[in-house]
Amino acid sequence: MRKTTLLGAGLAFTLLFSPFQHAFAAETKGELRQVDLVAHRGASGYAPENTVAAFDKAVEMKADYIEIDVQRSKDGKLVIIHDTKVDRTTDGTGYIKDLSFDQIRSLDAGSWKGEQFKGEKIPTFDEILDRYHGKIGILIELKSPELYPGIEEMVAQELKERNLDKPQNEKIIIQSFNFESMKKTNSLLPKVPIGVLTSNKVDTTEQALKEFATYADYFNPSYGIVTEELVNLVHEKGLKIQSWTVRSHEAADFLLKMKVDGIITDYPDYVDPR
């Protein structure tokens, strides 16, 4: 039995009474907008990605979810950063897996975006869970989990400690480009929705989607491969579809027209100008 069928009734009840229900009833140009608004690495168009500044901005802009990237330091601390190296978004250099947490925490992760963000730090996974769960949904991406054996168990443990492994609590989704990692995560957290990420058309066939539906709830492709036919096929397989990464009004309008279930964007106001 697919996970989606097991989650259906509880999810419907949650959405009906959820503070996030505006995502299913927000008006856009006079029409009902049935789409989740996901702030990509926070509202990263306006603040340094994967920092508290960006996540706070996403909350302020009334996004339905923040999307975060989870990796692990050399000494085993789960940290929030996109690249496997710190070079692009900090004043440091080196691979996350080769740096201690103290080294990572000492870096400035904000100045590259603007002087007003000087001193922003790379946050930890537990800090983000504690700060935002109950305020906004959290879309958790396991970034290159093949580099971090056992990271799935660590993420699962952090969620279980906060009772976030049950869908009736708060909005949590876990996704990755690594399909085997998502199969493992599904076995560890059978009640948490799972997403698979791809930009490869080979993953859009009916057979591929049928396989994804055995362990996932979301099929999350890059918007460059989204078509009306793909959206319909994803829905036929009992999956939802969230697409990334929107950085223009045109891309947002296209995905709204395609009737995807979620839009992952650096600019939340491009999807919903509230």
pLDDT at 167: 72
Q: Average model confidence (pLDDT) for the chain?
A: 90
For the domain with range 3-18+35-268, which CATH number is right: 3.20.20.190, 3.40.50.11440, 3.30.360.10, 3.30.420.310?
3.20.20.190
Taken in order 212, 213, 218, 221, is the CA torsion positive or negative?
positive
Q: What is the pLDDT of residues 1-34, one digit of tens each?
A: 345 444 444 444 444 444 444 443 344 444 455 8
Residue 214: is its pLDDT beyond 90?
yes
Number of residues written out for the chain: 274
Residue 106: both structure tokens together: 């000492």
Strands 262-265 and 36-40: parallel
Residue 124: is its pLDDT beyond 80?
yes
Residue 200: is its pLDDT beyond 60?
yes
Find out whether 53 and 89 touch, Cβ atoms under 8 Å: no
Catalytic (active site) residue 40? yes
Q: What is the pLDDT of residues 65-97, one digit of tens each?
A: 999 999 999 999 999 999 999 999 999 999 999
Q: What is the DSSP string of 157-178?
A: HHHHHTT-SSTTSS-EEEEES-
Residue ranges per domain, the chain? 3-18+35-268
Banded pLDDT at 273 (limits 50, 70, 90)? confident
Q: Given the structure tokens 């400690």, which residue do they identify?
A: 161
Amino acid at 78: L
- Average of per-residue pLDDT across 177-197: 98
Strands 240-246 and 78-80: unpaired
Q: Which of 22, 40, 133, 249 is catalytic?
A: 40
Q: Given the structure tokens 């999810």, which residue do they identify?
A: 11
Question: How far is 177 from 198, CA to CA, in rounded Å?
Answer: 6
- Average of per-residue pLDDT across 178-197: 98
Q: Which of 82, 133, 235, 249 is catalytic?
A: 82
Banded pLDDT at 51 (limits 50, 70, 90)? very high
Nearest CA-CA partner of 183 in 226, 212, 155: 212
Nearest CA-CA partner of 121 in 113, 130, 110: 110
pLDDT at 168: 66
Question: How far is 6 from 22, CA to CA, in rounded Å?
Answer: 24
Residue 232: is its pLDDT beyond 50?
yes
Question: What is this structure's pTM?
Answer: 0.89
Banded pLDDT at 170 (limits 50, 70, 90)? low
